[in-house]
Structure 1
Amino acid sequence: MATSLTKKDARERATGAPSGRTFFGHPRGLATLFMTEMWERFSFYGMRALLPLYLIAGGPAADKGSQGGGLAMTAATSTAIYSIYLAMVYLLAMPGGWFGDRVWGPRKTVTISAVIIMAGHLTLALPGEGPFFGGLALVALGSGLLKANISTMVGHLYDGPDDPRRDGGFTVFYMGINIGAFAAPLVIGTVGQNYSWHLGFALAAAGMALGLLQFLIGTRHLNPRSSEVPKPLSRAERTSVLRKGLSWLVVAAAFYSVVVLTGTYTLNWALVPITVIGLVIPVAVLLRIKRDRELSDSDQSKMTGYIWFFVAAAVFWMIYDQGGSTMSIFGDTKASGELFGFGFPSSWYQSVNPLWIMALAPVMAWGWMWLARRNQEPSTTVKFAMGLVLIGVSFFVFVVPMAMATGDTKVSPMWLVGIYLIQTVGELCLSPVGLSVTTKMAPAKYGSQMMGVWFLAVTAGDCTTSLLSLAGVDLNGTGIVTMEAALACLAGYAIWMYRKRVTALMGDVR
């Protein structure tokens, strides 16, 4: 994207950024963060597009004649690993934000996280199951560290929450995410799926390297606050954290040493505990906040209302994130790899969602404002209900091509394009509203932590998918897809039916 540079803006000087030039009317530092996030998302979504296909490559779940060299896993195991990976990325966003606030500061945390992500992709580029899981863990860790801190630095560029450019700045930043997500499957997916899986993973590392280079070159344009540690750990706190961390590490090492030495270790010994942890932590965090006696009655009421939104979001993401696993595997094995005479690798399907987002986000934003001017804009609860019903409808539609693709029959790619369209509209109804309502309903005591709580809804949803896969449920069958669709629609109906009660619990938040 071209950079628009104008004369010095007096408002930017208030942020402390040394540069007087602007990026589309925003502080020059936004260009640095925009490009860094774009390349990081390029590496993230490129690897993600390859992940389920690489896991099944060479095995019975892969398409006939597809490239070998993968890990030859079943579709169920592939879906479980993919879901756990996404769940860990969002789960680790909370400790990632903690490191930025208490240990390194946002700028240093982002630099270190970029190096970790790059090392992870390079490890994935090595053949073998051992390097694969090591690389996946590094990418998840680095992504979790980066996710919260780079958004924090975007906020630092503006003169407080009332700066009129702030929302626009995050919108521009969000476009960088989707540009990277759109381009990644087209480049990394093509190379990885058609030529070499490991070369594809290496390209993801190259993308992160470009993002890191861009960040280091442009770091002088960031607000000095981004280098500060807002609330550094005291010596006693640091000692306590290290002691607890080492204790858990020793316990885990001892446990798995016994499992390995007794010859009972299987992949499920790693997958099941991680999945359970991903379900327990969100519940524990919500209960800890809800049971805090220091919260006022108003805050307690808002947290009760927020639990409705959290559960609804978990159901939504449980289905939505299967766009990269269940639907990706279906696209590889049951959908035609040709449209209007043009052949393409199945990893390209992962570019459809970001393309729809870039096309529809401005339209839907305008639509909400148009309705608001007429006092007809749906409430937060109604938008959540709409998002859930739409994600359910998308899976009801998904049942049709699944039923059509019998034997060697392959369906048109337009089925998946249409399903991704319905899911994107649902996402645009629920996701931005969820982020907004989280900040509005957060008790003052937990203001910074609540955004991490919102991401835990994604963790809970993905871990539910993983648990179903590990339990032997065939997520690629029409029966379970129909049940998931019905669950989402029923959840949406419940939110709509109880919208007045939820609105009352929200207090003055709308």
Structure 2
Amino acid sequence: MASSLTKDAAPQAAPATGGKTFFGHPRGLATLFMTEMWERFSFYGMRALLVLYLIAPASQGGLAFKAATGAAIYSVYNATVYLLAMPGGWISDRLWGPRKTVAVAGTIIMCGHFLLAVPVEMSFFIGLVFIAVGSGLLKANISTMVGHLYPDRTDPRRDSAFTIFYMGINLGAFAAPLVIGTVGQNVNWHLGFALAGVGMALGLGQFLFGTRHLAPVSNVVPAPLRAEERAALLKKSGLWAAAAVVFYAVVLATGSFTINWVLWPLSLAGIALPAFYFAKIRRDKEITADEKSKMTGYIWFFIAAAVFWMIYDQSGSTLTIFASQDTAGTLFGIGFPSSWFQSLNPLFIMALAPVIAVLWVKLRDRNPSTTAKFAMGMIGIGISFGVMMLAQAAATGGVKVSPMWLVMVYLVQTVAELSLSPVGLSVSTKLAPEKYAGQVMGLWFLAVTAGDCTAALTQLIVGNAFMSEASFAIQGAVVALGGVALLMWRKKVIKLMGDVR
């Protein structure tokens, strides 16, 4: 999962709000911690079942899609979540404020999960739309409210707060496949999806009950829309919505509609939108030559991140299918459902994140540059698909391979993620032009969208061959060689970055 790391905090001061505390922090942190933990529990629990349900035969209660189509649906869904984080931030800034936006988001997500629990195909896909929209609204704003608890940016508890909050994310992500995955695979798919809805309901209840402990600024709309802006927005939105309705009505009327009419446009849009934003920023005459140079350097990091996420986010699709179809469901005599593999990444993150954070501090002057860390992440994620190539080769002829193959893959991917993801968040803030500081952070999330959309297009084009040894080898080699190229061209990139290192 996209993650972030924070350094150890200095000794704690008195809580900003007085009264009871949460590990020495304002009580509002407990509200946000529990809300995010339950939201991630619902999100990753549903995700653990998504592809498995899509490709399961009708006789087993699934939707019987081909493996490639199921994987593409997953990739586009995941891409849409990150794509909608940008409008989610805008809605908070201009319409509702963070607190109301998160409350609405949690309600939409909860309804989406319960729609998945209805055994009707149309209800299932409407539910996916609800969850994507709600997740986009929530993702952009709940972290902002953590920052609001510490109005003094020099407050020594600030970094510690985000570390605690980050642990909530991974606790939810770790527990979800173990609970929801087990129920969904071993009892009933729709009961598993309903459990995800219950998880979000608990998170929403926690948030609504604990809002009194949040900072007052979280209820403020920073830059409310003027009446004329609101009218123009409604007009434009209505026109685009009408165009989409007319287009798909024609497709449906001609009897040519398939799921590809949704997957292809969304995948192409997810790649085109970041390119549009970069062009817009670089054409802006108000940004300085130095800022323009830094944005050119940032493009290198964006592309590197996109191809990284292209492989990494296949954990919920390609690796899940491999776990289900080609991997033994027992280890040391203990049986388990294939969805449990998705608990490995958050487990490894919780174990390794503090170690790597300390390592970067200990290295001091020998600490690798941002460019080198990105290259390490790309090479690492490429190597993980080299391991997958070997695992797929071992699974030929219907052989079920040892679960340790996937354990190794997830371990390598986690180390690669911790080399690239937190550094990407940091470099996004450092290279962004002052005028576009918030939007460049949104662009960082669009790297996930672009990577997932690239994966979806690949899956749609090559079909079920995306699970072949050749596919793993080609993807892994391309990304690893990209990391080597970044190392070779690092001096050029560093020059474009100016005073940023």
2:7 alignment partner in structure 1: none
State the one-letter code of the partner of 2:472.
V
Q: Deviations over 1:347-389 (max 9, x none)?
A: 00000000000000000001111101xx110010000000000
Q: 1:498 aligns with which of 483, 489, 497?
A: 489
1:478 alignment partner in structure 2: 469
- Matches of 1:204 and 1:27 in 2, distance apart? 28
SS at match of 1:22: coil
Determine whether 1:240 maps to 2:232.
yes
Residues 117 and 138 of structure 1 are in contact (CA less than 8 Å); yes or no, is this contact kept in structure 2?
Answer: yes
- C-alpha displacement at 1:218, in angstroms? 1.0
Determine whether 1:394 maps to 2:406.
no
2:447 alignment partner in structure 1: 457
- C-alpha displacement at 1:498, in angstroms? 1.1
Determine whether 1:317 maps to 2:309.
yes
Q: Deviations over 1:189-245 (max 9, x none)?
A: 000011100000000000000000111111111100000000000001100111000
Structure 1 unaligned residues grouped into runs of 5+: 1-8, 60-66
State the one-letter code of the partner of 2:239.
S
Q: 2:456 aligns with which of 457, 463, 466?
A: 466
Q: Deviations over 1:280-339 (max 9, x none)?
A: 111111111121111011110110000000000000000000111101100000000000
Q: Deviations over 1:19-71 (max 9, x none)?
A: 53222222221111000000000000000000000001116xxxxxxx81010
Residues 43 and 205 of structure 1 are in contact (CA less than 8 Å); yes or no, is this contact kept in structure 2?
Answer: yes
SS at match of 1:381: helix
Q: Deviations over 1:436-480 (max 9, x none)?
A: 110111111111111111000000000001111122342111111
Aligned runs of 1:287-366 on 2, under 5 Å?
287-366=279-358
Residues 85 and 137 of structure 2 are in contact (CA less than 8 Å); yes or no, is this contact kept in structure 1?
Answer: yes
Q: 1:446 aligns with which of 423, 436, 440?
A: 436
1:125 alignment partner in structure 2: 117
- Matches of 1:408 and 1:491 in 2, distance apart? 33
SS at match of 1:229: coil
SS at match of 1:448: helix
Q: 1:412 aligns with which of 383, 402, 408?
A: 402
Query: Which segment drifts farther, 36-45 or 159-168?
Result: 159-168
Q: 1:81 aligns with which of 55, 70, 73?
A: 73
Q: Per the alignment, do residues 20 and 443 of structure 1 end up closer, same or farther by CA in structure 2, a change over 3 Å counting?
A: farther
Aligned runs of 1:416-435 on 2, under 5 Å?
416-435=406-425
Residues 69 and 460 of structure 2 are in contact (CA less than 8 Å); yes or no, is this contact kept in structure 1?
Answer: yes
Identity of aligned residues (%): 63
Residues 116 and 128 of structure 2 are in contact (CA less than 8 Å); yes or no, is this contact kept in structure 1?
Answer: yes
Residues 21 and 28 of structure 1 are in contact (CA less than 8 Å); yes or no, is this contact kept in structure 2?
Answer: yes
- C-alpha displacement at 1:11, in angstroms? 5.3
Q: 1:211 aligns with which of 193, 203, 206?
A: 203
SS at match of 1:135: helix
1:4 alignment partner in structure 2: none
SS at match of 2:467: coil
Q: 1:222 aligns with which of 204, 208, 214?
A: 214
- Matches of 1:24 and 1:218 in 2, distance apart? 16
- C-alpha displacement at 1:509, in angstroms? 1.2
- Matches of 1:318 and 1:408 in 2, distance apart? 27
Residues 13 and 157 of structure 2 are in contact (CA less than 8 Å); yes or no, is this contact kept in structure 1?
Answer: no
Aligned runs of 1:23-102 on 2, under 5 Å?
23-58=22-57, 68-102=60-94
- Matches of 1:200 and 1:351 in 2, distance apart? 16
Q: 2:256 aligns with which of 247, 264, 275?
A: 264
Coordinate RMSD, CA, aligned? 1.1
Residues 11 and 159 of structure 1 are in contact (CA less than 8 Å); yes or no, is this contact kept in structure 2?
Answer: no
Query: Which segment drifts farther, 463-472 or 33-42?
Result: 463-472
Q: Deviations over 1:249-270 (max 9, x none)?
A: 1111111111111111111111
State the one-letter code of the partner of 1:277.
A
SS at match of 1:471: helix
TM-score (norm: length of structure 2): 0.96
Residues 12 and 158 of structure 1 are in contact (CA less than 8 Å); yes or no, is this contact kept in structure 2?
Answer: no
1:62 alignment partner in structure 2: none
Query: Which segment drifts farther, 187-196 or 273-282?
Result: 273-282
State the one-letter code of the partner of 2:89.
G
- Matches of 2:299 and 2:47 in 1, distance apart? 30
- Matches of 1:360 and 1:172 in 2, distance apart? 15
- Matches of 2:317 and 2:153 in 1, distance apart? 38
1:63 alignment partner in structure 2: none
1:3 alignment partner in structure 2: none
- C-alpha displacement at 1:10, in angstroms? 6.6
SS at match of 1:439: helix
- Matches of 2:150 and 2:457 in 1, distance apart? 42
Query: Which segment drifts farther, 491-500 or 182-191?
Result: 491-500
2:4 alignment partner in structure 1: none
Q: Deviations over 1:145-196 (max 9, x none)?
A: 0001001101111134322221221111111000000000000000001110
TM-score (norm: length of structure 1): 0.94
- Matches of 2:431 and 2:187 in 1, distance apart? 49
Residues 323 and 338 of structure 2 are in contact (CA less than 8 Å); yes or no, is this contact kept in structure 1?
Answer: yes
Residues 391 and 426 of structure 1 are in contact (CA less than 8 Å); yes or no, is this contact kept in structure 2?
Answer: yes
